[in-house]
Amino acid sequence: MEWVEDFYSKQYSWSKTHTNYDMEELRDDLVGKLERLADPKPKKILELGGGNGQFAVAAARQGYEVTVIEIVPACITHTIKLAKKHHVEKNITVIQGDFHHVKLNEQFDLICYWDGFGVGTDSDQQLLVNRIDNWLAPMGTVLVDIYTPWYWANTAGQEMNIDGISRRYDFDAHECRMLDTWWQNQEPDHKITQSLRCYSPADLRVLLKNTELELVDLEPGGAMDYKNWQYKNDVPLVQAMGYTAKFKKMD
């Protein structure tokens, strides 16, 4: 998975310099989601792939104790800066590294992975869910965003241009993977691509088979209408680009 750090480092850099995306805006919506779906209410949270820290800081502001694992150094720096800005640095522990290899000696009430599950092979996902199983405290909850194969298969070939950055979506039907390629318009020959394995709920249950985790619920996400350039927040699972899967440990 050599592409992982390179892709996300460049994605962060290009988004910062070319787009109007507000990296300071906190993800209170995700805090609301965890409070709606997690039971019992957690105290200690582990976030995998914390990105810019927008969720971690939002959760810390609500009194949660948050540990973040993130691979991109610039994202780590931004997370620490954002935590200090909101005076919650004492509530956040930031770990730089690959969560497939990072060693943790504690358990968490909630483990979340927002937007990014599917990096690597099925064996890599199996390794990750086994690690999540070990990190999860008794009665804890796991919330993971999963990409659906049907949406991304139908989106293959879609291109867009936003503030000097171009993107193209493709789909690897043999491996069931969403391909997301970025390039700067002034350097069209220099492209970066992320490749994420898509899972139906049935596929996901197979992935969890050798763990103590069980898929107990899911919440469909939204879908983009590219013809009218409108995003719909609430669509049925059969139309959704992804869903949030909720895992619990089996009794």
Q: What confidence tens digit (pLDDT) does each residue in 65-88 have?
A: 999 999 999 999 999 999 999 999
| Residue 175 in domain | no
Closest CA to 207 of 245, 251, 170: 245
| Residue 183 in domain | no
| Residue 228 in domain | yes
Query: Residue 77 in 3-state DSSP?
Result: helix
What is the C-alpha separation between 60 and 71, in angstroms, rounded?
Answer: 20
| Residue 244 in domain | yes
Amino acid occupying residue 173 = A
Query: What is the Cα gyration radius of the chain?
Result: 18
| Residue 161 in domain | no
| Residue 172 in domain | no
What average pLDDT does the segment 132-150 reach? 97
Determine the pLDDT at residue 20: 74
CATH number at residue 229: 3.40.50.150
Q: Is the pTM of this model over 0.85?
A: yes
Percentage, residues of the chain above pLDDT 70? 99
The range of the structural domain enclosing residue 213 comes to 3-11+20-147+199-249
Number of domains comprising the chain: 1
For residue 96, count other CB atoms closer than 10 A to its CB.
15
| Residue 173 in domain | no
- Mean pLDDT across the chain, nearest whole number? 95
